């Protein structure tokens, strides 16, 4: 029976290989015309070998899982009810973003924008004052934690949600610029300044040239014979971004290691009951597997036998990884995710790639319908899609869907009050911010326990929120990236 399965698998792989060969090479199965031939008009089809893994990332193979808390909720918030969902395959940083990573970002901003636009650099600075408290002595952390080399590989903190997103955008551009340099298409340009800096979208729309070494061959007989890279070439990577709440929870659980065929044989509460990556060496039995607060006043244990070896944050990459190879998905620092917080999100969201926070935008165009000129920082401008352009759509009717099913007309009890309000403030009918609720459209979810939390918060399903403009000494972040095409990757 096993031999039959192996033979059948090999036949299927051979068939798929043949189909892919027909698609990507030779002639079109639709028209019979040859691909990649200037004699036939020059329609080009890239010989795509699959998505490469961007720097710092680990692939997380998607699948179905039970999202939500399957343990007692001592807070009685009931904001994490169980629900079966499916998450697409994606990539996630192996570790939290470290101080040295963020310092590289700050250095680049200061070098490129520091003279003419110093506010760009200032806006990105972490809030080092988060370490202060009225009745504690933390001045060494205020002064040294971000910049002293002793802390280079500790997770960056004092970063708000907006700053984390800006970092992801910057990282996208630096990685894609390096890919083009490695391909010999661009030469390094250390003299980039102000709007003349590599931006992935500006490059793709023809608004940034850079120091060209050798462009790609253009087979269009009406062209100059060369062209810049296009998205269709498969060279440019998707953008780095924050993970969604569902992605983060799925990745933290690491059920890849608890699955036999399609049976999850061990339902996890914490990420660390791994049996794939962790050693069986008895020397490590009983060791702490995360950096957290064991009890009141106990952040590390007794001198000579520190239980987690860290008083405050620990270096990224500490402790055992989970079955996806991700470090510190429990403890160390909590992490920002993309979602806007709502108590009933787990009940309301779709069961495929669940997410709350969609605000659909489009590139700004000029009077001739062309993409508008990039801004003074070299970035393509975006705007929310106007309602009149969505009249005939069936899948969504407005660009801002943060309040959908929770703050919009359908979910509001007092509909007369809803009608009297301005459209941009409808959620205040249900969430009277600072009066009856701490929730508004700027409340962002953060996940996971931290060095400052007790064990309960290390369960991946637990969820908390904070205003997107606020920062703390226990919240950091890591980046994610979409997986395109084949969800398996091997």
Task: Write out the DSSP string of 10-53.
Answer: HHHHHHHHHHHHHHHSSB-TTT-PBSS-GGGT---------PPP
* Residues 155/148, Cβ–Cβ less than 8 Å: no
pLDDT at residue 240 tops 80: yes
Task: Provide the pLDDT for residue 52.
Answer: 94
For Cα atoms 238, 38, 22, give the angle at the middle one, nearest 5 degrees.
60
pLDDT at residue 485 tops 70: yes
pLDDT at residue 394 tops 70: yes
Tell me the pLDDT band of 266, cut-offs 50, 70 and 90: confident
What is the average pLDDT across 217-231?
Answer: 94
Task: Provide the pLDDT for residue 209.
Answer: 96
Tell me the pLDDT band of 422, cut-offs 50, 70 and 90: low
Q: Is pLDDT larger for residue 264 or for residue 489?
A: 264
* Percentage, residues of the chain above pLDDT 90: 71
pLDDT at residue 46 tops 80: yes
Lowest mean pLDDT among 4-8, 191-195, 370-374, 420-424: 4-8
What is the average pLDDT across 174-192?
Answer: 97
Q: Is pLDDT larger for residue 410 or for residue 51?
A: 51
**b/e 433-464 (16+ beta carbons within 10 angstroms → b):** beeeeebbbbbbbbbbbbbbbebebbbbbbbb
What is the average pLDDT across 167-175?
Answer: 98
Residue 269: exposure state from Cβ atoms within 10 A (0-12, 13-18, ≥19)? middle
Task: Provide the pLDDT for residue 71.
Answer: 78
What is the average pLDDT across 409-417?
Answer: 66
pLDDT at residue 403 tops 70: yes
Task: Provide the pLDDT for residue 72.
Answer: 78
* Residues 485/465, Cβ–Cβ less than 8 Å: no
Q: Give the integer Cα–Cα distance in Å for 340 and 357.
A: 5
Task: Provide the pLDDT for residue 273.
Answer: 64
Query: Does pTM surpass 0.95?
Result: no
pLDDT tens digits, one per residue of 294-309? 889 998 888 887 878 8
* Residues 84/66, Cβ–Cβ less than 8 Å: yes
Q: List the chain domain ranges.
A: 58-174+237-357+447-490
What is the average pLDDT across 431-459?
Answer: 89
pLDDT tens digits, one per residue of 15-33? 444 444 444 458 899 999 9
Task: Provide the pLDDT for residue 65.
Answer: 92
- CATH number of this structure's domain 58-174+237-357+447-490, picked from the four choices 3.90.1580.10, 3.40.50.1100, 3.90.1170.50, 3.40.50.1370: 3.90.1580.10
Task: Provide the pLDDT for residue 419.
Answer: 55
pLDDT at residue 392 tops 80: yes
Task: Provide the pLDDT for residue 154.
Answer: 98
């Amino acid at each position: 029976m096993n031999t039959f399965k192996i033979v059948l698998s090999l036949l299927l792989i051979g068939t798929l290989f043949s189909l892919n060969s027909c698609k990507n090479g030779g002639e079109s199965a639709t028209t019979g015309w040859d691909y990649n031939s200037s004699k036939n008009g020059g329609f080009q089809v890239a010989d795509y070998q699959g998505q490469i893994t961007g720097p710092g990332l680990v692939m997380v193979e998607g699948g179905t899982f039970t999202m939500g808390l399957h343990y007692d909720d001592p807070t009685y918030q009931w904001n994490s009810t169980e629900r079966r969902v499916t998450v697409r395959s994606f990539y996630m940083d192996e570790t939290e973003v470290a101080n040295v990573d963020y310092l590289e970002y700050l250095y680049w901003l200061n070098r490129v924008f520091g003279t003419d636009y110093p506010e760009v650099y200032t806006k990105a600075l972490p809030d080092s004052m988060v370490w202060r408290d009225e009745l504690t002595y933390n001045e060494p952390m205020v002064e040294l934690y971000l910049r002293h080399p002793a802390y280079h590989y500790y997770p960056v903190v004092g970063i708000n949600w907006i700053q984390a997103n800006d970092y992801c955008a910057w990282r996208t551009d630096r990685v894609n610029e390096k890919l083009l340099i490695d391909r010999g298409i661009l030469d390094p340009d250390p003299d980039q300044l102000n709007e003349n800096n590599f931006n992935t979208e500006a490059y793709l729309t023809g608004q940034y040239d850079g120091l060209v070494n050798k462009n790609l061959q253009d087979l269009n007989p009406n062209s100059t014979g060369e062209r810049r890279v296009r998205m269709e070439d498969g060279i440019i990577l998707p953008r780095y971004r924050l993970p969604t709440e569902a992605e983060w929870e799925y990745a933290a659980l690491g059920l890849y290691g608890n699955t036999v065929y399609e049976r999850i044989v061990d339902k996890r509460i914490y990420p660390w009951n791994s049996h794939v990556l962790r050693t069986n060496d008895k020397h490590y039995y009983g060791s702490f597997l995360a950096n957290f607060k064991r009890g009141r006043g106990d952040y590390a244990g007794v001198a000579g036998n520190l239980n987690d070896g860290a008083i405050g944050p620990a270096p990224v990459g500490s402790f055992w990884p989970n079955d996806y190879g991700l470090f510190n998905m429990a403890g160390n620092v909590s992490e920002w995710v993309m979602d806007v917080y709502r108590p009933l999100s787990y009940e309301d969201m779709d069961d495929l790639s669940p997410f709350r926070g969609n605000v659909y935008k489009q590139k700004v165009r000029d009077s001739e319908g062309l993409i508008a000129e990039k801004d003074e920082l070299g970035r393509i401008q975006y705007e929310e899609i106007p309602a009149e352009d969505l009249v005939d759509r069936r899948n969504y009717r407005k660009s801002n869907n943060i309040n959908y099913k929770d703050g919009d007309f359908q979910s509001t009890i007092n509909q007369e009050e809803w009608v009297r309000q301005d459209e941009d403030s409808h959620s205040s009918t249900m969430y009277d911010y600072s009066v009856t609720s701490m929730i508004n459209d700027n409340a962002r979810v953060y996940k996971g326990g931290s060095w400052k939390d007790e064990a309960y918060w290390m369960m991946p399903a637990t969820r908390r929120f904070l205003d997107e403009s606020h920062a703390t000494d226990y919240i950091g972040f890591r980046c994610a990236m979409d997986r395109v095409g084949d969800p398996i990757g091997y």
